[in-house]
Structure 1
Amino acid sequence: MERTARAASTPAPQPLAAASPAPLPAAEVAALLDGVPRQRGPVAIPLPGAARPALRLRPWRLLPSPTGTPVTFTYTVILALTSVFASYASPRLLYALYQDSSTDVAHLLRTPVFVLLASALWIAGGLLSPYALAFVLVLTALERRIGGARAILVFLTGHVLATLATEVPVGLAVLVGHLPHTSLHRLDYGISFGVAASIGALSGILTPWLRWPLLALVAYDLVEDLIAFEDPMTNWGHLISLGIGAALWPVVRRWYRERGPAAAVPS
């Protein structure tokens, strides 16, 4: 009994208190937190029946403006002026201007730079031509994405290369006697080669569901014109210029990324 009582009176051993570590310096705490994922803010989930934010449709951005797309706007004004002039000028004067601006073989041999630039100041068919509407829409969209100087560079690349690709064979065919000498003086002017190249280039920076239908529709229309065989040299030039624009996809996509840091080029 005495032993039991002594044991009962002995106090129970207390657990050792854990030693509290010294606080870390603020710099080390910040370094450790750099690797910890941050907490995201609350995600707003729309309730059923709640009003959704309205999409901001801005159809005026499809058209050129002096502040948003100054290069396309200026070029459009020039084309509009030459088209109005063509509507009121005498046929004899107009034919002389077209002939002096023609990128036929004879003029390319004498004044290549002048006729390559002058021929792009006229719209074959006037303001009601499908290429006039395509020029406004396509060049505006292209300038908004890659800039005015680069958009015009794409346009002129298609215009110049497709012209040379169609006229040089004519000159060679005349030289070997396969075509008459009059083929050196055919009228060849307008913006259609540049527009086709711009369409091909623009399609490379559109989303796939826009890119492939656009290319298929334009290519089908151009092939249909070629099959009709009304103006095979020009029709071949349209297909060539469309291919030139598609060949510029790597360059145009790089320009597109440079134009907007957050822009992502669709695959």
Structure 2
Amino acid sequence: MPPPARRAVPRPWLLLPTPGGAPFTFGYAAALVMTSLVARYADPALMGTLYQASSTDVAHLLQAPVPVLIASALWVAGGVLSPYSLVFLLVLTALERRTGGPRTAAVFLVGHVCATLATEIPVGLAVLAGLLPDSSLHRLDYGISFGVATSLGALAGLLRPWPGRLLLIAFGGVLLQDLLTLTDPLSDWGHLFSLAIGIALWPRVRRWDRTDPRP
């Protein structure tokens, strides 16, 4: 008689990044904690200047696209206690444990850059057409939310069908609710676009999945 199968022991600490298990997420999270502490305790006038300098608005994207795209991803809108911080930790940890740090970074970066351009280019065109005032070129826009939304969309493709679908339905429902409130339509459309980018990456991230037993 074969020995009874061992029951899997829950390991909840695997949900959070560690230096060995998810080094990219752990290091990125440490950087976000540092910038959040700066945002909490620094002079408000200084923080206003830093946020404006890190903003991925049309004017900054035309002047220095690469530095500003990097700088904008070093701040958490709403601080380290915002809901996106928790989603960042859980989603990127899970994605990194399945695909590795460099590929997780690539997914995050693709979402952050593409969603930013998809939301800011129409603003620039609307200003040129006279549909928006020139002040729209300096719209304050920074944070990790586009990259997080893309990473969540990509992760859903690595989960079993029902958990993945439920994750998409729940997160997509929140994004649609935000869009209906018209609080910040441009960012809300950007979040939906980011989620769609993550879904479009399913074929690639599935090939990267280190837990997939198929050859």
Q: Do the two structures share a fold, i.e. TM-score over 0.5? A: yes
Deviations along 1:59-81, whole A, 9 cap, x unmatched? 00000001111111000000000
**Structure 1 residue 215 and structure 2 residue 160: aligned?**
no
C-alpha separation in 2, matches of 1:110 and 1:54: 57
C-alpha separation in 2, matches of 1:237 and 1:103: 13
Question: Paired residue for 2:88?
Answer: 135
Q: How far did residue 263 of structure 1 move?
A: 2.6
Q: State the Cα RMSD in Å.
A: 1.4
Q: 4+ residue stretches of structure 1 with deviation over 4 A?
A: none
C-alpha separation in 1, matches of 2:97 and 2:213: 12
Question: Paired residue for 1:124?
Answer: 77
Q: How far did residue 54 of structure 1 move?
A: 3.3
Question: Paired residue for 2:17?
Answer: 64
Q: Any residues of structure 2 matched to 1:87-98 within 5 Å, and which?
A: 87-98=40-51
Question: Paired residue for 1:19?
Answer: none
Deviations along 1:153-209, whole A, 9 cap, x unmatched? 000100000000000000000001000000000100000000000000000000012
Tell me the secondary structure at the aligned position of residue 100 of structure 1: helix
Q: Any residues of structure 2 matched to 1:220-259 within 5 Å, and which?
A: 220-256=173-209, 259=210
**Structure 1 residue 263 and structure 2 residue 188: aligned?**
no
Deviations along 1:206-265, whole A, 9 cap, x unmatched? 001210000000000000000000000000000000000000000000111xx34x5359
Question: Paired residue for 2:57?
Answer: 104
Tell me the secondary structure at the aligned position of residue 164 of structure 1: helix
C-alpha separation in 2, matches of 1:68 and 1:159: 24
Q: Name structure 2 gaps, 5 residues minimum.
A: none
**Structure 1 residue 171 and structure 2 residue 171: aligned?**
no
Q: How far did residue 128 of structure 1 move?
A: 1.2
Tell me the secondary structure at the aligned position of residue 56 of structure 1: coil
Tell me the secondary structure at the aligned position of residue 188 of structure 1: coil
Normalization by structure 1: what TM-score? 0.78
Q: Name structure 1 gaps, 5 residues minimum.
A: 1-41, 47-51
Aligned counterpart in structure 2 of residue 77 of structure 1, from 30, 33, 42: 30
* Bigger share in helix: 2
Normalization by structure 2: what TM-score? 0.97
Question: Paired residue for 1:158?
Answer: 111
Alignment size in residue pairs: 215
Tell me the secondary structure at the aligned position of residue 140 of structure 2: coil
Q: How far did residue 127 of structure 1 move?
A: 1.1
Which structure ranks higher in relative contact order (CA pairs < 8 Å, sequence separation ≥ 6)? Answer: 2
The structure with the largest alpha-carbon Rg is 1
C-alpha separation in 1, matches of 2:123 and 2:140: 13
Aligned counterpart in structure 1 of residue 136 of structure 2, from 168, 183, 188: 183
Q: How far did residue 53 of structure 1 move?
A: 3.7
Tell me the secondary structure at the aligned position of residue 121 of structure 1: coil
